[in-house]
Amino acid sequence: MAHLQVGLRPETVEKARLELSESPETIHQAIQEVRDLIITRPDVGFLRTDDVFILRFLRARKSQPAAAFRLLAQYFDFRQQNLEMFKNFKATDHGIKQALRDGFPGVLSQLDHHGRKVLVLFAANWDQSRYTFVDILRAILLSLEMMIEDPELQVNGFVLIIDWSNFSFKQASRLSPSMLRLAIEGLQIFLHGNNLTSLHQLIQPEILPSEFGGLEPPYDMGTWARTLLGPDYDDDTDGRYGGGFFDGRRASERLVPTSTTPNDSCSSDSPRNCVRRLVLLRVFSNHFKCSDENLDNVFEFETKSLLCKHNDKLSCKDLPKKSSRTCAHSYK
């Protein structure tokens, strides 16, 4: 089954062997074990069961067939339970398209030092008059679905950085608990405060745009959208928004610069800025996993972090003791 490792660099093949327990000799057996488990869940519509697809989930669970099967079942169950999210699931869908053009998500051109693809989001760019939070989530999931076809990324994973600078109460009011939970169920979370030093310990500043204290120029929001949409990037023939409506400025021109001085609590004299600066680092890799029972604690943590109230001195010590800061359901 060595052909299933075609497309991997020699160093990635070695990484898969050491970190994921993957080898040409064991791949076939592991895939077959997953396939044998699939028949035990007739309640789940497994729309794809080919070797290449199953291997994605084995890599996400370090070649453990039982764990890979559970993730595979969760993947299709999530899609079945949220059918509306996956209707017209393509880049040219009008909501997805507008979210993509506003940088939801942005994708950096360089990989980090672990070989991971780095995605960036600037939450304040959300234009609620043109697309919904669900459109943003759909755009992110679609992007991940397309990128995860790359076997290198199946082994190395992804990083998603979310900057909540200048995210307003008006925008936050559109994020219901059910929406946040939906996002958490589809994604995996690792939290950092607004001290970017810890961020740079995980991602080298040489590949980060200046908005995150990196050495690269300000991020161009349309970069990834142009890759996905091609000639459709500038096409507004559906008439919903009109040509030229898109604000294609770079992030630094659209967001008010904010201090990167650490500050873990809401400002007592700035109630309108109570939704504090956060940098969420989401790691789609094999290094951050958790069990299902942690999901509610992660959700409570996210809700507190995002919607803190005036004079609430929220800090890491206020989190539920059982909360995991590194996990929720993964989505690959």
The answer as to CATH 1.10.8.20 being correct for domain 2-81 is: yes
**DSSP character for 63?**
T
pLDDT (tens digit per residue) in 149-189: 999 999 998 887 878 777 776 777 777 777 766 666 655 42
pLDDT at residue 324 tops 80: no
| Cβ atoms of 163 and 122 closer than 8 Å | yes
Nearest to 135 by CA among 180, 104, 176: 104
Within a 10 A sphere around the Cβ of 151, how many other Cβ atoms? 21
Burial of 40 (0-12, 13-18, 19+ CB in 10 A): exposed
Q: Which CATH architecture has domain 90-318?
A: 3-Layer(aba) Sandwich (3.40)
b (16+ CB within 10 A) / e for 238-269: eeebeeeebebebbeebbeebebeeeeebeee
Dihedrals φ, ψ of 281, to 5°?
Answer: -110, 110
* pLDDT tens column, 93-144: 999 999 999 999 999 999 998 898 998 888 888 898 899 999 999 999 899 8
For residue 281, list its beta bridge partners. 161, 190
> In the chain, what are the domain boundaries?
2-81, 90-318
Q: Where are the alpha helices (DSSP H) in 187-322?
A: 196-202, 223-229, 251-254, 295-306
Confidence label for 10 from pLDDT (cuts 50, 70 and 90): very high
Q: What's the CA gap between 73 and 95, in Å, rounded?
A: 28
* Whether the predicted pLDDT of 316 surpasses 50: no
pLDDT at position 235 is 74
- Between the CA atoms of 164, 169, 170 and 174, what dihedral angle is there, to the nearest 10 degrees? 70
Q: Indicate whether 265 pLDDT > 70.
A: no
For every residue of 153-198, which 3-state class applies, written as one string? HHHHCEEEEEECCCCCHHHHCCCCHHHHHHHHHHCCCEEECCCHHH
What order of strands is seen across the sheet that includes strand 158-163?
A: 106-107, 117-122, 158-163, 279-284, 190-192
| CA gap 23, 27 in Å, rounded | 6
pLDDT of residue 307: 37
> With 70 as the cut, is the pLDDT of residue 9 above it?
yes
Distance separating alpha carbons of residues 34 and 49, to the nearest angstrom: 9
Predicted local confidence at residue 13, as pLDDT: 95
Q: How confident is the model at residue 233 (pLDDT cuts 50, 70, 90)?
A: confident
CA distance between the termini of the chain: 22
pLDDT digits (tens, 9 = 90+) for 36-79: 999 999 999 999 999 999 999 999 899 999 999 999 998 999 89
